[in-house]
Amino acid sequence: MVSINDYESSYANQWCPGCGNFGILAAMKDALVSLDIPPEELLIVSGIGQAAKTPHFLKCNMFHALHGRALPLATGAKLANHNLKILVNSGDGDCYGEGGNHFMHAIRRNVDLTLLVHNNRTYGLTKGQASPTSDLGMVTAMQPHGVISESFNPLAVALSLGAGFVARSFSGNTEHLSRMIREGISFKGFCLIDILQPCVSFNRVNTYDWYKKRVYDLSEENYVPDSFEKAMSISMQRGDEIPIGIIYKKEKPTFADRIGILHEGSLISQTYDPGKLNSLLAEI
Amino acid sequence: MNNRRAVVGRMNQMDIDITVKIGGEAGQGIQTVGHLLALVCRKAGLYIMAINDFESRIRGGHSFFQIRISDSPVHAPHHRVHILVALNRETLDLHREALDTDGLVLIDEKAESAEGSVINVPLEKLGKKAGGKIFSNTVAAGACLALLGAPFELCKAVLAEQFGKKGTDVVEKNVDAAELGYQAVKDVAFKWAFEWKPDTPKGTLIDSSRSIALGALSADCRLAAFYPMSPATGIMSNLAALSDRFPLVVEQTEDEIAAVNMIIGASFAGVRAMTSTSGGGFCLMTEGLGLAAITETPIVIVNAQRPGPATGLPTRTGQGDLQFVIRASQDEFPRFVFAPGMPDEAFEITARAFHLAEKYQVPVIILVDQYLQDSLFIIEKQLTAPEETERFIAGDDDMDNPSEYKRFAVTPSGVSPRALPCAGKALVVISSDEHREDGHISEAISDRIQMVDKRNAKVPHMIKEMNPPKEYHGDADILLVGWGSTEGAIKEAVDRLREEGMNAGALNFVDLWPFPFEAAIAALNRTKKFYMVEQNSSAQLGQLIREQTGLIHSGAILKYDGRPFYPNEIVNDVKEYVR
């Protein structure tokens, strides 16, 4: 049995005290332990930002990559070995800003991985600029007259692109988040968990209290996540009431399922056959 | 055989040296005619070399396919045209000047009336007679072959091979069309018609788009990720066509950034992976290039050059990216850069690129260009795949204590044992931040210095892998120095200059970075003067030689109009210099 100690990293944490990332890290460990996944069977890929530092703070295989580029890199790893269990830690700037194009196309591919977006609606590591999910009008040091662009809606975008697992959670509710991560890892296909998270250093608007007053758990409302239309409507609730939970869930063939050659086994497990190639070379 | 032999002939006693140019609008089937000629010539045991000249459009405009036919190996295009197949009137206007005295123009009667060297062949009418307008290209090929004296049976056999898969009806109609083409010019005397002696093919008809794809397969490349960009796409279309037969996935990505990151991910997870692009796409990949470097993940990137900057000339050729690719990305790190001169060399270089990338855990860049990607050559060497590929991967069994595994452990060679994620007890920790030996982020002064030194420690070993420049009459008084695809044109220019009594030679660099400076100094010190021959406007290799060796070229023959070098251009420029 895997225990929480197996995931303890000796690497010193670098987050601000009180950061929402601590709740996410705790929920990840809890989910991984309860699913009995040992660290050596887990690969975490991340981009750049405070969220992307997450894998350093728990013991596992990890590739802390470039800003915005975690998803294509994870896709490549998955193509090489589609038996890999992959989590991706990203942030709202990393995933919806710098990596927006990759976000869209990873969904289209239906890569079988679980994407955790630590969505604190601000840029933490670069000190408090607006992010794609900041509300219209939000004032920051860099946007003194308020944000002049509409806020990005990751759930609606993911749904519209055909994502099979779309969920939202809140870093202040570790139990809920752990449940979402367990469901996500168990799901076969691309899985988005957008995690609402306060930034104690830079986001003075979307605080713990602000979220606590607004979030409600869909599972307590007898919501069944099987309707695309209902899911789209839920995804648009972003005001005084913010739903958390699985918004939409439907399995379909994954990226690897759709590639014929991978039915014979993962790319890495297949064998090099010089005979076949030499006969091709003699043919041409 | 004719009185022009002295002009076009070479030292290796070329008896046949004929150039046929087929021109028209994009979409008219220029390549169909050209490929047919190439295949018939190959079957007859002749050598050919063909260039593809086209605009960045799918229909209209002006394109041509120019094929040089010889009984000796030819590795560059020739500037004089002996048969001009004009599929439209514009072709005649554009290329009339290149027509040799006694050359002939084949043109539809609708476009221009017959007079002097202009011969009318009702291509469209005869095509329709054979079964449809589409067959007019085969009529044109038939007429060309008839002028050249090719036996009709040979043409027939090639048509059967080419169209066999499409059924007997298609074969028969093509044979009829070719025969109508033969008939149409049966009374025309062509000065350069020659005797076609029965012979066997001298080699494989191939461009570097194909040979690089095959080279990648021979190195056991299993993922090719790309974003379409001329002139690099051909490599990927060749691989895609083979992806059902080998353990290979070819993935078209959302952009070049995704392509390079995807191959880094695949390589990290344990399979060999590559991408191909052109300069603009390479710009987008430079961030990923740096990621491969700092994470010491082996990757292979082919940059098929075209003139730039920005969109530049999408379908044209150039060598403007050398100085860019040797330094692309911020800060410093080791990398390999190679520039093959011919498709067979491109095959070998590609296989070698994968090997060296993995051996040293560094990115490798292969520089080709539109000329090499889209030109057909006969290569005599049989391409072969090795029995096995040497991998440089460490498993738990290779370690004393897998749970203490450090991905970036310092070693004298700078190369650390490379484990794969989720392959054992050893955890693989990698960060694009500067890091410690265990892969975790570090800003400590000692870690930073240690990691930079560790990466740089590879360079002396990498230089030992580099081959010296290839010498051709390397002891001559004057050396023409080039790199990559200009090799064929430069060597032919040297032949011509030597015929005219000049003691000229050539040096061609294939292994470019890390720069083999000792070998370069040794080779260049043997000559009195050397001249750069490059397809850029500033003699980029010349600058590099000066920087790395202190030796300065006496002049530079530079062509940056987007078109390949013709040997005569080099000959004329050298004569200007040494007059």
Q: What is the pLDDT of residues B269-288, one digit of tens each?
A: 999 999 999 999 999 999 99
Task: Provide, rounded to the nearest whole percent, the portion of chain A with pLDDT above 70.
Answer: 100
The closest of B224, B351, B357 to B297, measured between CA atoms, is B357
Among A1-5, A90-94, A123-127, B11-15, the least confident range: B11-15
Residues of B in contact with A7 (CB under 8 A): none
The CA distance from B240 to the nearest CA of chain A, in Å, is 12
* A59·B385 Cβ contact <8 A: no
Q: State which residues form the domain around A197.
A: 4-283
Instruction: Check if A95 contacts B (Cβ < 8 Å).
Output: no
Chain A CB within 8 Å of residue B265 CB: yes
Q: Is B206 in contact with A284 (Cβ distance < 8 A)?
A: yes
Domain presence at residue B386: no
Distance CA A86, CA B266 (A): 13
A39–B contact, CB cutoff 8 A: yes
Q: Give dist(CA B444, CA A88) in Å, integer.
A: 27
In a domain, B384, yes or no: no
Contact B422 A39 (CB under 8 A): no
Locate B460 and state its tokens. Answer: 């002396």
**Within 13 Å, how many C-alpha atoms sit on residue A64's CB side?**
24
CB distance from A53 to chain B under 8 Å? yes
Dihedral class, residue B550 (left if φ above 0, else alpha if ψ from -120 to 50, else beta): left
To the nearest whole angstrom, how far is the Cα of A255 from the nearest Cα of chain B? Answer: 11
- Give whole-number Cα distances, A2 to A34, A102, A245, B312, in Å: 8, 33, 26, 57
The shortest CB-CB distance from A102 to any of B242, B258, B426 is to B258
Separation in Å, CA B292 to CA B299, B300, B321, B333: 7, 10, 20, 10
Last residue of a domain, one of B160, B181, B201: B201
Q: How far is B4 from chain A (nearest CA, A)?
A: 35
User: CA B124, B128, B134, B135 torsion: positive or negative?
Assistant: negative
Q: What integer pLDDT is reported at residue B59 of this predicted model?
A: 87
Q: Which of A37, A54, A81, A272 to mutate to test the interface with B (most CBs of B within 10 A)?
A: A272
- Residue B389, chain A, CB below 8 Å: the answer is yes
Token pair in block for residue A114: 């679980």
Give the tokens for residue B177. Answer: 């069309």
Sign of CA pseudo-dihedral A234, A178, A186, A105: positive
Dihedral pair phi/psi, residue A37, rounded to 5°: -95, 115
User: What is the Cα–Cα distance from B343 to B345, expressed in whole angstroms?
Assistant: 5
pLDDT in the model for residue B13: 55
Q: Supply A181's token pair.
A: 């991560």
CATH number where A171 lies? 3.40.50.970
CATH number where B556 lies: 3.40.50.920
What residues in A contact B421, CB-CB < 8 Å? 43, 61, 63, 77, 84
Domain, as residue range, for B492: 468-578
Q: Mind giving me the DSSP string for chain A?
A: ---GGGGB--SPP-SPTT-THHHHHHHHHHHHHHTT--GGGEEEEE-SSTGGGGGGGB-SEEEE--TT-HHHHHHHHHHH-TT-EEEEEEEIIIIIIITHHHHHHHHHHT-S-EEEEEE-SB-TTTTS-B-TTSPTT---SS-TT---SPPP-HHHHHHHTT-SEEEEEETT-HHHHHHHHHHHHHSSS-EEEEEE---TTT-SSS-HHHHHHHEEEGGGGT--TT-HHHHHHHHT--SS-EEEEEEEE-----TTTT-GGGGGS-GGGS---HHHHHHHHHH-
Kindly state whether residues B327 and B246 are assigned to the same domain: yes
Distance from CA of A78 to the nearest CA of B (A): 7
Domain identity same for B44 and B192: yes
Domain count, chain B: 4
SS3 of B399-465:
CCCHHHCCCCCCCCCCCCCCCCCCCCCCCCEEECCCECCCCCECCCHHHHHHHHHHHHCCHHHHHHH
The span from the first CA to the last CA of chain A, in angstroms, equals 55
State whether B523 and B456 are in the same domain: no
- Quick check: B255 and B423 in contact, CB under 8 A? no
From B40's Cα to the closest Cα of chain A, the distance in A is 15
Contacts B271 to A, Cβ<8 Å: 79-81, 267-268
Residues in chain A within 8 Å Cβ distance of B387 = 274
Contact residues, chain A, for B263 at CB < 8 Å: 76
Do B347 and B242 lie in one domain? The reply is yes
Within 10 Å of residue B96's Cβ, how many Cβ atoms?
15
* B240 and B142 assigned to the same domain: no
**Which residue in A75, A268, A276 is closest to B271 by CB distance?**
A268
How many domains in chain A? 1
Nearest to B424 among A40, A74, A81 (CB): A40
Q: What is the CATH number of the domain that holds B20?
A: 3.40.920.10
CB–CB of A261 and B206 under 8 A? no
Helix (H, G, I), strand (E, B) or coil at B558: strand
pLDDT of residue B29: 87
DSSP secondary structure letters along A221-274? GT--TT-HHHHHHHHT--SS-EEEEEEEE-----TTTT-GGGGGS-GGGS---H
Distance (Å) from the C-alpha of residue B245 to the closest C-alpha of chain A? 8
Q: Which of residues 411-430 of B touch A (CB under 8 A)?
A: 420-422, 424-430
Residues B513, B461 share a domain: no
> Which of A261, A230, A266 has the alpha carbon at shortest distance from A247?
A230
pLDDT of residue B279: 98
Given the structure tokens 């994870």, which residue do they identify?
Answer: A74
Compute the nearest-CA separation of A183 from chain B (Å).
Answer: 22
- Look at residue B557 and give its three-state secondary structure: strand
B252 at A interface, C-beta within 8 A: no
Contacts of B217 in chain A (CB under 8 A): 277, 280
Q: Spell out the per-residue pLDDT of chain B, length 579, in tens.
A: 333 333 343 334 579 999 999 999 988 889 999 999 999 999 999 999 999 999 988 888 999 999 999 999 999 999 999 999 999 999 999 999 999 999 999 999 888 888 889 999 999 999 999 999 999 999 999 999 999 999 999 999 999 999 999 999 999 999 999 999 999 999 999 999 999 998 999 999 999 999 999 999 999 999 999 999 999 999 999 999 999 999 999 999 999 999 999 999 999 999 999 999 999 999 999 999 999 999 999 999 999 999 999 999 999 999 999 999 999 999 999 999 999 999 999 999 999 999 999 999 999 999 999 999 999 999 999 999 999 999 999 999 999 999 999 999 999 999 999 999 999 999 999 999 999 999 999 999 999 999 999 999 999 999 999 999 999 999 999 999 999 999 999 999 999 999 999 999 999 999 999 999 999 999 999 999 999 999 999 999 999 999 999 999 999 999 999 999 999 999 999 999 987
Closest-CA residue of chain B to A52: B431
Q: Are residues B215 and B268 in the same domain?
A: yes
pLDDT tens for A119-163 read: 999 998 899 999 999 999 999 999 999 999 999 999 999 999 999
Last-in-domain residue among B357, B379, B401: B379
Cβ neighbours of B198 (radius 10 Å): 8
The dihedral of CA B305, B311, B313, B319: what is its sign?
negative
Closest CA to A120 of A171, A159, A191, A173: A171
Residues B257 and B159 in one domain: no
Verify that B108 and B10 share a domain, yes or no.
yes
B212: helix, coil or strand?
Answer: helix
Residue B151 forms contact with A (CB below 8 Å): no
Examine the pLDDT at A23 and tell me if it is beyond 80: yes
Of the residues B354, B379, B404, which one is the last residue of a structural domain? B379
Beta-bridge mates of residue B60:
B26
**Its pTM surpasses 0.90:** yes
**Does the structure's ipTM exceed the value 0.95?**
yes
Angle (deg, nearest 10), helices B136-148 and B30-43: 40
- Tell me phi and psi for residue B120, to 5 degrees: -90, 130
Which of A69, A78, A81 is facing B270, going by the closest CB pair?
A: A81
Chain A CB contacts of B268 below 8 Å = 63, 73, 76-77, 80
Chain B residues with beta carbon closer than 8 angstroms to that of A14? 441
Count of CB pairs separated by less than 8 Å, A with B = 190
Give the full edge-to-edge strand order of the sheet including B60-70.
B118-120, B99-107, B81-86, B17-26, B60-70, B47-53, B376-379, B204-206
Confidence class for position A7, pLDDT limits 50, 70, 90: very high
Q: Encoding tokens for residue B311?
A: 């969109």
Please name the member of A14, A72, A270 whose beta carbon is closest to the beta carbon of B261: A72
